[in-house]
Amino acid sequence: MASGEKKVGEAADSPGTIDFFSSPLIALNFAVRRKLALFLNPRSVVAADWTGLAEEMGFDYLEIKNYERFESPTGKLLEDWQVKENSSVGRLLELLQKIERDDILEDLMPDIEKDCRQYLNKPLQVPSVDSSESKASASAGITIRDDPTGATPELFDAFICYCQADIEFVHEMIKQLEQSECKLKLCVFDRDVLPGSCVWTISSELIEKRCKRMVAIISDDYLVSDDCDFQTKFALSLSPGARDKRLIPVKYKQIKRKFPSILRHITICDYTNPSTKAWFWNRLARALSQP
């Protein structure tokens, strides 16, 4: 850190800035807590999740195991931590930085600052320079066919989880499912999503609220992709045990890596099986067409 540079959450000296350490955690409203949960609830081996945050907050092993039974471990964790003596918004920002979740800090800082200003009864910045204002506008339109006012968000039959290396199969999927009598509507990130926002935040919004289901294109590249790992675990968190068939894995070529254990209990559409390839697309289309 350069000389004189302040850490995240450290009080600034210029007028109008926020001292996050003077803001108790109750300053954070439901919307911010929910977004934190979207980032931290999915268990991950590539990025620190809620368990890493809980350890930094000082919770022990048995306490952390107990949080696993809650629908939103992150939400419950924040509720319990906010009554502790050393908790504050500034301390939370420090801990997120410590577990290297700079993606969360980058995405949520405008909303966190807005909540703290409202709690401390300080005037909000004018709209022309308020980054939270531009963020709100971005959330109103995240796909190319969204109504800019946010009144009629674009909806899809399925979110396609894929790696760039598998884009040719995505094109084939579009041809077979969209440009055919099936008339399904697929959400393909590189084609349909406007640039400029955090990939994980937009993915979560689309998977949870805009798409009926998610199709995960399984390949060796998929198995080492951080984005695919997050999207898959997030979709599974919305449907524990795959009860409502929200996630449909598609294996379109042979893989050399170990198949992910979290998908072993879900029936796979196997494009590599010669004996079933003839009805592969019809089977997948029917699965995506279910209410």
Tens digits of residue pLDDT in 61-111: 998 998 898 888 998 899 889 878 788 999 999 999 999 999 999 999 999
Let me know whether 121 and 233 are in one domain: no
Let me know whether 164 and 276 are in one domain: yes
Q: Is the pLDDT of residue 54 over 90?
A: yes
Domain with 167 in it: what CATH number? 3.40.50.10140
Let me know whether 174 and 212 are in one domain: yes
Let me know whether 71 and 111 are in one domain: yes
Asked if 217 contacts 169 with a C-beta cutoff of 8 angstroms, the reply is: yes
pLDDT top residue among 226 and 46: 226
Q: Is the pLDDT of residue 163 over 90?
A: yes
List pLDDT tens digits, range 263-279.
Answer: 878 889 999 999 988 99
Let me know whether 105 and 187 are in one domain: no
In-domain check, residue 5: no
In-domain check, residue 147: no
In-domain check, residue 4: no
pLDDT value at position 124?
A: 38
pTM above 0.75, yes or no: no
Instruction: Find all residues with CB under 8 Å of 149, minimum gap 6, and list them.
Output: 140
* C-beta contacts of 65-69 below 8 A and 24+ residues apart: none
Asked if 234 contacts 207 with a C-beta cutoff of 8 angstroms, the reply is: yes
Chain centroid to CA 248: how far? 18
Q: Domain ends where: 96, 116, 140?
A: 140
Q: Domain ends where: 79, 108, 140?
A: 140
Asked if 102 contacts 94 with a C-beta cutoff of 8 angstroms, the reply is: no
Q: Domain ends where: 105, 140, 175?
A: 140
The answer to whether the Cα torsion of 119, 120, 124, 129 is positive or negative is negative
Domain count, the chain: 2
Alpha-carbon gap, residue 196 to 130, rounded angstroms: 17
Let me know whether 181 and 284 are in one domain: yes
Let me know whether 119 and 45 are in one domain: yes
**Distances in whole angstroms, Cα of residue 219 to Cα of each of 132, 207, 214:** 38, 20, 16
Q: Is 203 helix (H, G, I), strand (E, B) or coil?
A: helix
In-domain check, residue 151: no
Pairing of strands 247-251, 211-218: parallel
pLDDT value at position 140?
A: 57
Structural domain range at position 271: 156-289
In-domain check, residue 7: no
Let me know whether 108 and 212 are in one domain: no
Let me know whether 285 and 226 are in one domain: yes
In-domain check, residue 8: no
String of DSSP letters for 171-197: HHHHHHHTSSTT---EE-HHHHBPSSS
Let me know whether 275 and 183 are in one domain: yes
Q: Is the pLDDT of residue 9 over 60?
A: no
In-domain check, residue 53: yes
Let me know whether 187 and 222 are in one domain: yes
pLDDT value at position 7?
A: 56
Let me know whether 203 and 230 are in one domain: yes
In-domain check, residue 148: no
Q: Report residue 138's pLDDT band, with 50, 70 and 90 as the boundaries.
A: very low
